[in-house]
Amino acid sequence: MDQNVSIYTKYEKISAENLELKDRILGYQEKIHDIRRDQKKTLNELKDFYDRQIAEKDAIIKELSDKYAHCVAVKAHDGTSTGISTAATPIGKKKVIPNSRRNSGKKRGGQPGHTKHFLQPFEQQDVTETVNHDPKDACASCGGQLTDSGEIIAKDEFDVEIRTIKRRHEYRVCYCADCGVVTRMSIPANLKEANQYGSHVQALALSLMNTGNVAINKVRTLLFGMTGGSMVQSEGYIAKLQSRAATGLKMFIADLKTVLIRRSLVYWDDTVIMINTDRACLRFYGDDTISFYTAHAHKDMEGIDDDGVLGLLTSSTSTMHDHNKVNYNDKFFFLNLECNQHLQRDLQKNSDDTGHTWSDELKKLISSTIHGRKEAIARKETNFQTEYINDFNRKVRASLAEGWEERKKNPSRKEAANFERLLLIRTDKYYENYFKWVEDFSFPTTNNMSERGLRCIKSHMKISGQFANVTTARYYAIIKTYIETCRKNCINEMTALSRLCMGNPITVSEIFG
């Protein structure tokens, strides 16, 4: 009995130990499970961490790649794809000068069968100076005496000479023998001083400054050299010429603006100038017979209102510009025309930056249609046929639709994508303003008139630098208005400036009647 109890006791003890061991094993298993779970969690966390690191690095690589591609595209930009000037072409890169003329296939220079032109001998009454060249007294061959045969070989020479003139004007003072009243002749304002520089040399100085873009100190040097050192004008005097000339043109400017706002088509544009190291604005308005310039310290609506041009144009007037959105202000009533040359440059830029084909096809379509229009105008036609216009509109709309499709199928980098999106929206929104010339040949295709008008100021900024203040910039604008309007109407510049310096400038009524 005792033996059975002992065996049972041992059994219970062993069972208890087994249960304890089982619990310990289960505990170890739970710990192992927890460790494995923690390891898996750690591994997942590490994986997520490294995935985020890789994603961030990929984003940085993509951003840098996009920036590199953008820099490469910008480096490739020139006058054919953007609005940059030829003068801004980077060093080491070949200048690309835009030229819309068609290649004739002919060689440069005179063509076969072309009649050569020579200066014709002067008429006898036109000869101002004769120089006699007599031979030596003895024959060069034998030493014999020479006898005049009466034959003369005449060779004419067309030349110019700057001659210093010291002219004295004498105005006699008279008195009446009967009443003794003294009578003095009226002396013009340009002769008010005891001695002054004449109108011709003043006109030359103004021409050098405003047409030649010569700096004031160099004008002084040139006049000193031209006159053999006899004229030593001060820089202050030359600077005052600008002020006096601009003041003498107040009536001309007012009358010219009256003529300008009555025109059926007005081109306008503005560009940046520098005034005392600050960015300012020079603006052009005009057409093929009028150049009207204004200058302002800022490029804003206030300056446009001060000009008093756009606000006075009626609905019967069209304005050609380079997509200046200020033109679409509700207070203006004129018809807006958009420059197609700028549109073609933007289309070329988009093709270069994105590689998409729609913009290149649209550019070619516009170019070929403009050439077709020139040929039709040469045939004395005033518009395209309705079928031609409809086909053009269909092709343009198809190109724009293709542009949106290409954006979806082949997305480009951020900068190029934004430019393309805005280009598509702008072309569609201002469709009528861009392509009015297709329906009516009386509307222009480009704003080249303004571009040419403002080109002079770029030369001025490179040669003479900035303006001292906005007042001197306005003097320049006023005088340029006078000179270029006269030149466009076949009036000699020096004649116009000489009359201005004499206090009798060419009037608007003389030009336009």
407 shares a domain with 371 = yes
Which has the closest alpha carbon to 473: 457, 485, 497, 496? 457
CATH of the domain at 502: 3.30.420
Number of H helices, E strands in the chain: 16, 7
pLDDT reading at 85 higher than 60: no
Q: What pTM does this model have?
A: 0.77
Residue 194 lies in a domain: no
Query: Residue 323 gets which letter from DSSP?
Result: -
| Residue 290 or residue 65, greater confidence | 290
Do 453 and 333 share a structural domain? yes
Last residue of a domain, one of 401, 416, 439: 439
Query: How does residue 98 score in pLDDT terms, banded at 50, 70 and 90?
Result: low
Bigger pLDDT: 68 vs 502: 502
User: Can you give the pLDDT at residue 62?
Assistant: 81
* Assigned domain for 127 exists: no
Alpha carbon distance 95, 506 (integer Å): 40
In sequence order, what are the residues at sequence separation of 6 or more whose Cβ sits closer than 8 angstroms to the Cβ of residue 308?
257
Which region, left, alpha or beta, applies to residue 355 given φ > 0 means left and ψ of -120 to 50 means alpha?
Answer: left
261 and 312 inside one domain = yes
pLDDT computed for residue 92 by the predictor: 64
My answer on whether 362 and 334 are in the same domain is no
Residue 356 Rama label (left phi>0; alpha psi -120 to 50; beta) = beta
Per-residue tokens: 327: 């033109």
pLDDT > 90 in the chain, percent: 56
pLDDT of 330 higher than 60 = yes
Residues 331 and 457 in one domain: yes
Are 262 and 256 in contact by the 8 Å Cβ rule? The answer is no
Within 134-277, strands assigned E span: 173-175, 182-184, 265-275
Strand duo 278-286 + 291-296: pairing = antiparallel
User: Is the domain of 375 the same as that of 414?
Assistant: yes
- Burial (CB < 10 A; 0-12, 13-18, 19+), residue 431, is middle
Range of the domain at 400: 340-439
- Torsion angle of alpha carbons 152, 157, 163, 168, nearest 10°? 60
Read off the pLDDT of residues 289-315 as tens digits, 9 standing for 90 and up: 999 999 999 999 999 999 999 999 999
Residues 6+ apart with CB under 8 A from 65: none
CA separation for the pair 498, 505 (Å, rounded): 8
Q: Are 96 and 106 in contact (CB under 8 A)?
A: no
| Beta strand extents in 199-299 (DSSP E only) | 265-275, 278-286, 291-296
Q: Is position 477 within any domain?
A: yes
CA angle, residues 408, 410, 414, in degrees to nearest 5: 85
Average pLDDT over residues 73-102: 61
Domain annotation covers residue 221: no
Q: At what angle do helices 414-429 and 2-76 cross, to 10 degrees?
A: 60
**pLDDT score at 357:** 93
Assigned token pair, 185: 């002749």
DSSP assignment of 169-189, as one string? ----EEE-TTT--EEEPPPPG
Query: Is 143 part of any domain?
Result: no
Q: How far apart are CA 237 and CA 217, in angstroms?
A: 11
Segment among 118-132, 251-265, 483-497 with least mean pLDDT: 118-132
My answer on whether 347 and 404 are in the same domain is: yes
pLDDT score of 142 more than 80 = yes
Tell how strand 318-321 and strand 265-275 pair up.
parallel
Task: Kindly report, residue by residue over 144-174, the tens digit of the pLDDT.
Answer: 888 888 888 899 998 888 888 899 999 999 9
Task: Name the residue with tokens 């003095």.
Answer: 184
How far is 498 from 503, CA to CA, in rounded Å? 9
- The helix or strand, by DSSP H or E, that contains position 462, with its residue range, turns out to be helix 448-463
Distance CA 17, CA 28 (A): 16
379, 432: one domain: yes
Q: Is the residue at 416 inside a domain? A: yes
Mean local confidence (pLDDT), 448-470: 86
What is the domain count for the chain?
2
Same domain, 459 and 428: no
What is residue 420's predicted lDDT score, i.e. its pLDDT? 93
**Which pLDDT band holds residue 1 (cuts at 50, 70, 90)?**
low
